[in-house]
Structure 1
Amino acid sequence: MLVRRETAADRTDVRAVHAAAFTRPDTPGIEPSEAWLVDALRADGDLIAGLSLVAEIDGEIVGHVCCSRARVGTRDGVVALGPLGVSPKRWGVGVGSALMHAVLAAADVLGVPAVVLLGDPRYFGRFGFVLADTHGISPTVPAWAPAFQLRPLSAYSPELRGTFHYAPAFERL
């Protein structure tokens, strides 16, 4: 498996990965919002190119993860992680883990203080994510708190506190 930065040539495959990964059995034929979210973040200029990574096996794109611009209170520089998608035929073989390790390392190298996401704490806890409220960061929707998580990186400072704000594309979900 090769994890690398996404290129313009990968965009159709990236959308297909998210469509396959997030299609629900009770809504076949309906494209999930994660499939268009990456395109919307890119169109708005909020997708961070260095934090949009694909996993490739034998020349096939089998996974994608990205981060987008976000802020805590009025402070820019933090990022939102997601979506993270893996082709269902590759579930359970480490593609998602490889993408997570790579994107967190890349964010750290770029000096990002923290990565925030909304997801299953059982899954993301193994990558060092903790509930964001333990760091004084709250979601705009209080009901998200049990799944709203933060991963502090090397540039993290405890002064980073307040309400987290996703890029506008997330608001359009």
Structure 2
Amino acid sequence: MRIRPATPDDYPAIDDLVIEAFGQVDEARLCDMLRRDRAVALELVAQEGDALLGHILFSRFTAPAGWLALAPVSVRPGRQGKGIGGALIREGLAQAAAEGWTAAVVLGNPRLYGRFGFSVAQAGNLTSPYPLEYTGLRWLGEPGGAPALELKYPDAFARLEG
């Protein structure tokens, strides 16, 4: 398996993969909107031969500056639970840190994302449009504690809900 940057030629296959992984179109629509809005900071795929097995996307928060939103992470059904998603998350976080991003935030299962250094406790003072009990914060450089900041997601997140 090889992890590499996504290219525009991958987008149709990524859409199919994301829809298959989530069983609905919302996450694929989110990816498309984030790309159109030029809000994508990092997008990777896991490939084996000609097949895409997984995908991850990090978008730029409108505020705070230098922060990333991790959403979505997708792995093809039948290949889930085999480390592909974890490899994508680790590689994405490593690349984001190398590029100088400050922090990443994820909305999801605290136990799952806690394995990758995301902390609900550190996100506890954030203001977010989403439930804080499912919001994890991971510092990509020096740990910054539990900041009291407002998360402003890219507009695509609100448009998806509307």
Instruction: Output the TM-score relative to the length of structure 1.
Output: 0.86
The Cα shift of 1:137 comes to 1.9
- Which residue number in structure 1 is paired with residue 135 of structure 2? 148
Matches of 2:142 and 2:62, distance apart in 1: 15
Q: Are positions 1:34 and 2:34 aligned together?
A: no
Which one of the candidate residues 35, 43, 47 is aligned to 2:36?
43
Off by >6 Å, runs of 4+ in structure 1: none
Q: Are positions 1:69 and 2:56 aligned together?
A: no
Q: Are positions 1:60 and 2:66 aligned together?
A: no
Secondary structure of the equivalent of 1:105?
Answer: helix
What does 1:72-83 align with in structure 2 at a 5 Å threshold? 72=63, 75-83=64-72
8 Å contact kept, 1:14–1:61:
yes
Matches of 1:134 and 1:166, distance apart in 2: 15
Secondary structure of the equivalent of 2:58?
Answer: strand
Unaligned runs of 5+ in 2: none
Letter in 1 for 2:157: F
8 Å contact kept, 2:43–2:55:
yes
Which one of the candidate residues 136, 139, 142 is aligned to 2:128?
139
Secondary structure of the equivalent of 2:71?
Answer: strand
- Which residue number in structure 1 is paired with residue 10 of structure 2? 10
Matches of 1:127 and 1:18, distance apart in 2: 21
Note closer, same or farther for the CA distance 1:39–1:132 as it changes in structure 2 (3 Å cut).
Answer: farther
The Cα shift of 1:59 comes to 1.9
The Cα shift of 1:161 comes to 3.1
8 Å contact kept, 1:21–1:85:
yes
The Cα shift of 1:160 comes to 4.8
- Which residue number in structure 1 is paired with residue 89 of structure 2? 100
Secondary structure of the equivalent of 1:45?
Answer: coil
The Cα shift of 1:152 comes to 0.8
Letter in 1 for 2:9: A
Matches of 2:124 and 2:132, distance apart in 1: 12
The Cα shift of 1:36 comes to 1.1
8 Å contact kept, 2:123–2:147:
no
Give aligned-pair identity as a percent.
36
The Cα shift of 1:61 comes to 0.6
Matches of 2:151 and 2:121, distance apart in 1: 9
Segment of structure 1 superposing worse, 160-169 or 149-158: 149-158
